[in-house]
Amino acid sequence: MAIDIEKDNEGNSYVPVPVGKFELEVELISDIFLKIDSKFIKFKNKGDTLEGEKLDYFIQKSLKSIFIELDSVQPFMEWLADKKKAVIDEMVEEVGEEHRELVEKRENIKEKVYDTFTDMEMDSGVAEILQSQVKEFIIEVKEIDLSQAVLAKMLKHSSTIADHSLNTANVAVFMAMVLGHGNYQVLEDIYMGALFHDYAKLKVPIEVLENKQNMKYNQAIQDHPAKGAKAVKKLDNIREPVVKIVEQHHEQFNGNGYPRGIKEEEIFGPAMIVAMANIFDNTVMENKNKTKKEKYRTAIKVLEYDKGKQFDPEMVEKVLVALKLAYGEYYIPPSN
């Protein structure tokens, strides 16, 4: 296998390892380094543990690789392969030997780190590449049993909720990539969070949900983020970020949201992304009788209007440029 080697000014050699290859909460077998401004900085010592939160943070900052000193590369790669095998074996034990192939496939998908374009000027070319990456990602993520199960459940209750949840998930992934998220795990969390965001509405009778005049309507709406988070938490294989997204998808940047009224940085970034995608799709749905162009234009205007109110102004700014370039194209209907 050919390996990339990078050298620092003192002639030390380092090898990049994609962040997606790391298993969390395990004792590291060698020192690991981060490359910051073309310098290699020791991030963790041999024997330290790599916590999920720390790694999530770096992933969200679009860090794609962690570096290992050249001397330690071979044992490190073997160690990584062992850890991966242990994760797969553990999962197979849970779901049964007949699903081994599926479990392996899923682990392999997770290692994939998508290209991101945070520092690039957004133009129609970049927007187009992002769209095709969203499509590619969605094909993979749809294979996960959990997303199929929740969709089936939604369709049984209300096709409107199912359509809206899928659209929101697709748009949220596009927005996330625009904002620099390229790691499969982060994108999957955002996709799942969006898919589940209105999960609690599945417990609300349709006659209440579709009638704003109904006495129980307001209460059901007020309660759905917290109730949804509680219900989702009880499901198998749900990650903490997904629960957080469900709980916070109606919080607002200015603190006027619900259920907790938290504001600005207190709001979980991925939840803010899903909040934007949610409003975007709601607007598109409300305008479904207008032309395609008109629908997207209105939805973009709504995001623009809420910049700094409901939504983080910096996020809106970046997302709007890409949406304007992509609208009509990037929007993937659930029937696809």
CB of 77 to Fe ion, least distance (A): 44
Counting residues that bind Fe ion (by CB under 5 A) gives 1
Is 198 one of the binding residues for Fe ion (CB under 5 A)?
yes
Nearer to Fe ion, 198 or 306 (CB): 198
CB of 244 to Fe ion, least distance (A): 14
CB of 44 to Fe ion, least distance (A): 39
CB of 206 to Fe ion, least distance (A): 16
Is 281 one of the binding residues for Fe ion (CB under 5 A)?
no
Site string for Fe ion, 2-31 (x = CB under 5 A): ------------------------------
- List binders of Fe ion among 50-69 (CB under 5 A): none
Nearer to Fe ion, 141 or 246 (CB): 246
Nearer to Fe ion, 29 or 221 (CB): 221
CB of 178 to Fe ion, least distance (A): 22
Nearer to Fe ion, 227 or 295 (CB): 227
SS3 string, the chain, reads CCCCCEECCCCCEEEEEEHHHCCCCCECCCCEEEEECCEEEEEECCCCECCHHHHHHHHHCCCCEEEEEHHHHHHHHHHHHHHHHHHHHHHHHHHCHHHHHHHHHHHHHHCCECCCCCCCCCCHHHHHHHHHHHHHHHHHHCCCHHHHHHHHHHHHHCHHHHHHHHHHHHHHHHHHHHCCCCEHHHHHHHHHHHHCCCHHHHHCCHHHHCCCCCCCHHHHHHHHHHHHHHHHHCCCCCCHHHHHHHHHCCCCCCCCCCCCCCCHHHCCHHHHHHHHHHHHHHHHHHCCCCCHHHHHHHHHHHHHHCECCCECHHHHHHHHHHHHHHCCCCCCCCCC
d(CA 267, CA 67): 31
Instruction: With contacts defined by CB under 5 A, name the span among 19-27, 60-68, 137-145, 196-204 that binds Fe ion.
Output: 196-204
Nearer to Fe ion, 198 or 312 (CB): 198
Nearer to Fe ion, 59 or 275 (CB): 275
CB of 196 to Fe ion, least distance (A): 10
CB of 135 to Fe ion, least distance (A): 25
129: buried, middle or exposed (CB in 10 Å: 19+, 13-18, 0-12)? middle
Instruction: With contacts defined by CB under 5 A, name the span among 7-15, 20-28, 178-186, 198-206 that binds Fe ion.
Output: 198-206
Nearer to Fe ion, 1 or 212 (CB): 212
Give the nearest residue (CB) to Fe ion: 198
Give me the residues that bind Fe ion (CB under 5 A), please.
Answer: 198
